[in-house]
Amino acid sequence: MEFELIARHFTRAAPGAVLGVGDDCALLAPSPGMQLAVSSDMLLEGRHFSPQDSPAGLGHKSLAVNLSDLAAMGATPRWATLAIALPAADDAWLTAFARGFFRMANQHGIELVGGDTTRGALTISITVIGEVPPSQALLREGARAGDDVWVSGVIGSAALALAYRQGRLFMEQIDAAKVLPALYLPTPRIELGIALRGVASSAIDISDGLLADLGHILERSNVGAKLEFATLPTLPVAQAYLHEPVARDCMLAGGDDYELCFTAPVSRRDAVAAAAQSAGVAVTRIGRITAEPGLAVVDANGQALHFDRTGYDHFDE
Ligand code: ADP
Ligand code: MG
């Protein structure tokens, strides 16, 4: 049963591998001179997704969140392995999951070369392997005082969708429909990460929230930052809800965006714009790196907003 399941759902041609699914190990030959970038992310039912979620969406998202780590490193995706625990071998579920997974894989030229399949509470653990030229990976530690802080795309949408789904934020249905795709079908910013090699001084993907993830860059780089709340890019629909503290929390501390937050010297603004254009994604300057440690967020009047990394703020006071 297990082998049939693997053969049917998870075995695809992998021309970029020496040997793919089917033996004790996959065999991979890295491109000459390239370094390998390797990352794993695990998704648990109840914690990262709910039993009602669409299996195709889950296939998409579980690979997308892993690809996002390669994007944040500036790596080119090559191979993936998939370890999956399933309560039952539900053929329709597996077919839909594989459809979502391989659509995302094909979009980004990543090949499934192995994995493990076992019975158990639904758990999806993926390892991705990418390639990056030596010393060109985008690390968290390169931010310098005076650098601009940038984000790609828009932020807060996935968190707004989650707050809506959990009944913590009322949204008109027509508005909710505009943010829900961000939660269920995130886009890893692979092309942007690659285009930022040699341009960005540091980068991270926003999985836990802007403040928390930018906080990792600041810590590793031994610097601080000052952000302007009004410059944070949102979907137009989000603006109508920002008077709600919950919605503002979504902007600063909402996870699951999978946008890139990165820094670059002011002298590289044109290069950042060119990278964004070549990748076909908008980027927005949201603040500056400071020599003094700490993360400040100011409003349009330069007034400091109070918050912690879980996003609680005091806009109303
Ligand atoms: P072993 O017992 O040697 O670990 P398995 O029986 O677990 O081998 O797996 C057989 C083959 O199928 C291996 O090549 C393995 O990498 C692959 N495989 C198992 N599960 C998956 C999966 N969910 N997705 C892709 N490949 C898988
Ligand atoms: Mg095994």
Q: Give residue 306's pLDDT band: very low, low, confident or very high (50, 70, 90).
A: confident
Give the pLDDT of residue 315: 42
Q: Give residue 256's pLDDT band: very low, low, confident or very high (50, 70, 90).
A: very high
Distance CA 100, CA 53 (A): 12
Give the pLDDT of residue 1: 64
Q: Give residue 211's pLDDT band: very low, low, confident or very high (50, 70, 90).
A: very high
Structure confidence by residue, pLDDT tens digits, 269-281: 999 999 999 999 9
Identify the residue whose C-alpha is closest to ligand 1 atom 27.
Answer: 115
Q: Give residue 121's pLDDT band: very low, low, confident or very high (50, 70, 90).
A: very high
Say if residue 116's pLDDT is above 50.
yes
- Ligand at minimal distance from the CA of 23 is 1
- Ligand at minimal distance from the CA of 3 is 1
Mutate to test the pocket of ligand 1, among 21, 24, 28, 111 (most ligand atoms within 8 A of CB): 21
Residue 271 Cα distances to 80, 103, 260, 275, angstroms:
31, 31, 16, 6
- 25 Cα nearest atom in ligand 1: 14
Name the helix (H) or strand (E) containing 39. Answer: strand 35-44
Say if residue 250's pLDDT is above 50.
yes
Mutate to test the pocket of ligand 1, among 6, 23, 127 (most ligand atoms within 8 A of CB): 6
Distance CA 217, CA 223 (A): 8
How many degrees, rounded to 5, is the angle at CA 235 between CA 156 and CA 195?
A: 80
The 10 Å CB-count burial string (b at 16+, else e) for 64-97 is: bbbbbbbbbbbbbbbbbbbbbbbeeeeeebbebb
Give the residue among 133, 99, 140 at the shortest CA–CA distance from 263.
140
Protein residues whose CB sits closer than 6 Å to any atom of ligand 1: 6, 10, 21-24, 82, 84, 112, 114-117
Say if residue 127's pLDDT is above 90.
yes
Distance CA 258, CA 158 (A): 9
Beta bridge partners of 19: 27
Q: Give residue 308's pLDDT band: very low, low, confident or very high (50, 70, 90).
A: low
Identify the residue whose C-alpha is closest to ligand 1 atom 10.
Answer: 22
Verdict on whether the full-model pTM lies above 0.85: yes
Q: Which amino acid is at 8?
A: R
Give the pLDDT of residue 305: 86
Mean pLDDT, residues 230-239 taken together: 96
